[in-house]
Amino acid sequence: MSDSFYKSGEPIADAKAPKGPIEDRWTTRKFEAKQVNPANKRKKKIIIIGTGLAGGSAGATLGEAGYHVQQFCFQDSPRRAHSIAAQGGINAAKNYRNDGDSVYRLFYETVKGGDFRSRESNVYRLADISRQIIDQCVAQGVPFAREYGGLLDNRSFGGTQVSRTFYARGQTGQQLLLGAYQALMRQVDAGNVELYPRHEMLDLIMEDGRARGVVVRNLINGEIKHYTADAVVLASGGYGNVYFLSTNAMGSNVTASWRAHRHGALFANPCYTQIHPTCIPVSGDHQSKLTLMSESLRNDGRVWVPKKAGDTRKPYDIPEDERDYYLERIYPSFGNLVPRDIASRAAKNVCDEGRGVGPGGLGVYLDFADAIERLGRDKVEAKYGNLFEMYERITGENPYDTPMRIYPAVHYTMGGLWVDYDLESTIPGLFVIGEANFSDHGANRLGASALMQGLADGYFVLPNTINDYIARNALPPVDEQNIAAAEERVTSRIDRLLSIDGDRSVDSFHRELGHIMWEYCGMERTEEGLRKALELIPALREEFWTRVKVTGTGEELNQQLEKAGRVADFFELAELMVIDALHRTESCGGHFRAESQDEDGEAKRDDDNFGYVAAWEWAGEGEQPVLHKEELNFEYVHPTQRSYK
């Protein structure tokens, strides 16, 4: 049985979420929260790890509020945070198109899209705040696309039948990040924010069970330093790079979250991984990452494969009646705009049938011929020109003349550190925002909702809830012994990695781990495969600690050392992901168990036995993790079989 891999612990509950009508809960919580007067804010220090949309907006807002913020990122500039790679857009319930959208509809579709595995209170707050985000960003000068008359334009995205996605061509993340960055740098100039680029958090400083600071490594000269504060905020992104090949930036990692997890922060739903359906297919073993093509392309592009297996003709040589527009055939109501998990599995299924296209048969076509004929090339180019150009540069194929080839790839992680309604983890004083937490998306994230959550957390939620914690906790200076203990943990781990002097590169271990995860804990999971992974991962981790070779020293720029520490944490995370996937014998959202599907091959949930958040506790080296369950209650959106047909 899968429970032989874990222990059961006490249930966990979100004690901060207010009662009452769902539309009033956020207003109630803000009113109940204690405030910090402006003069006292200047005496309080907050540490933020990460400068993406969540971290950058939080730093700018908390600095503006008067707090003393110290902010860290491992990139050479906050502008290089991975949020810059987001392409398609940001959701908001503005109903500019007068097509029936509303806060409630966005709330409903987000809960449904997450396959009924998210909290209603959190999701409603997100939908409500979405409207403020657009106003904030427009005021900052974010150049959203506009219609001919000057009004903000919208487009549709997967999992919905209304147009609520605001966008800036195919570079929405970049433009939103520049808005947050400018606001952040204003606070740097004002002296309210101290910015530390090229610094990586390697441990958490704890005192009396609270988060009181961090230990970081200067990535240029290797210097280990500590910083203490009244509260710590993790905005360090997701953990998709555990798969090695993903759409994430190569530096994206789980280390900040995992260090916190080892100190008592519960890790929630780690097996919920989103596979994005529109990525450029793998082209060979030389690749170290994959490239995302925006989901917005599915607005006008039609997905198809040949009807006959083994058809190797060029796409323009295959007649219309010999093409299978399979998403339109299987899901006539939503067609090419079904949610990501469904589109990804459908692509895998047709490729498994031998109808895939391109090298190795691991691809499907995304065809714009109809859109170009209907709208004209100029209109298509205005919407997607930079995406088409990027595709052509990578593949050498012109998508105006030849359909794009796409295939699913790891993109986003819905799991993350468990947080309550205030975005506070199970470690008092440690707040987690953006993709680093688990809070809003359930088992599957709707497209264009990542930017929405990141900015909601950073601009609007955290600045209200962190006040309450700081106002209620007057903390003394941190004991030097606790600081020294944290620094010792960091230096001893670095010394251990450098002393192994083995014969295998860090990347070789990372690639092998990624292959195991993709094969056995990827788009489709089985009990047999997950058990196999639980044999392979610990063995590979043991080999890593005896055979990895990290060249150079710790007192210099050493990217091999950086990667080695991150991969070491990926090994531990990977094992927990597999245990989580093995214990959850249902299928839901991005977690598809082959043993749990209906007669049509769709995911089959088990609400009676798995209608909860799985929050995992670190029990120590070599010990089984402890499972704490947070039961999910649905008062407004009652779980049904999710259908997009």
Mean pLDDT across the chain: 95
Across the range 630-640, mean pLDDT stands at 96
Mean per-residue pLDDT, 42-52:
97
Q: In 507-625, where do the E strands start and end?
A: 612-617
Q: Which residues pair with 582 in a beta bridge?
A: none
pLDDT of residue 287: 80
The runs of H, that is alpha helices, within 95-149 are 103-113, 120-140
Separation between Cα atoms, residue 328 and residue 124, nearest integer Å? 31
Run of H or E residues at 365: strand 364-367
Q: Which residue in this structure is represented by tokens 């649905």?
A: 634
Q: What is the pLDDT of residue 93?
A: 96
Distance CA(627)–CA(630), nearest Å, equals 10
What is the average per-residue pLDDT within 346-375? 95
Rounded Cα gap, residues 259 and 251, in angstroms? 17
Q: Among the options 79, 169, 302, 340, which is catalytic?
A: 340
| Residue 576, token pair as written in the block | 């927990």
Average pLDDT of the segment spanning 396-412: 95
How would residue 160 be classed by pLDDT, with cut points 50, 70 and 90?
A: confident
CA max distance for the chain: 75
**Start and end residues for every CATH 3.90.700.10 domain found in the chain:** 277-410
Of the chain, the percentage scoring pLDDT greater than 70 comes to 100
Residues in Cβ contact with 630 at an 8 Å cutoff, skipping those fewer than 6 apart: 11, 12, 13, 14, 268, 418, 612, 613, 615
Q: Where in the chain is the domain with CATH 1.20.58.100?
A: 480-631
pTM summary value: 0.96
286: pLDDT confidence band, cut at 50, 70 and 90? confident
How much is the average pLDDT of 90-101?
94
Q: Is 340 a known active-site residue? A: yes
Whether residue 1 is predicted with pLDDT greater than 60 in this model: the reply is no
Query: Residues 536-558: what's their mean pLDDT?
Result: 97
Please determine, for residue 255, whether its predicted confidence score (pLDDT) is greater than 70.
Answer: yes
Over residues 56-63, mean pLDDT: 98
Residues 6+ apart with CB under 8 A from 86: 172, 173, 174, 176, 450, 451
Cα 448–Cα 452–Cα 457 angle in degrees, nearest 5: 150
Helix crossing, 120-140 with 25-32: angle to 10°? Answer: 80
| Exposed/middle/buried for residue 295 (C-beta within 10 Å: 0-12, 13-18, 19+) | buried
State the Cα–Cα distance between residues 499 and 561, nearest whole angstrom. 11
Per the model's pLDDT, the better-predicted residue between 169 and 207 turns out to be: 207
Query: Which CATH architecture group holds 277-410?
Result: Alpha-Beta Complex (3.90)
Q: Torsions phi, psi of 302, nearest 5?
A: -105, 130
Residue at 457: amino acid letter: D
CA dist., res. 590 & res. 607, Å (int): 16
Q: What is the average pLDDT across 608-633?
A: 97
- Between CA 177 and CA 51 the distance in angstroms is 9
CATH number of 480-631: 1.20.58.100
Q: In the predicted model, what is the mean pLDDT of residues 612-623?
A: 96
Q: How many helices (H) and strands (E) does the chain have?
A: 18, 20
Whether 285 shows a pLDDT value over 80: the answer reads no
Residues forming beta bridges with residue 49, ordered by sequence position: 72, 234
Query: Is the distance from CB of 107 to CB of 637 less than 8 angstroms?
Result: yes
Rounded CA separation 288/154 (Å): 34
**Cβ proximity of 144 and 106 under 8 Å:** no
| Mean pLDDT, rounded, for 331-344 | 92
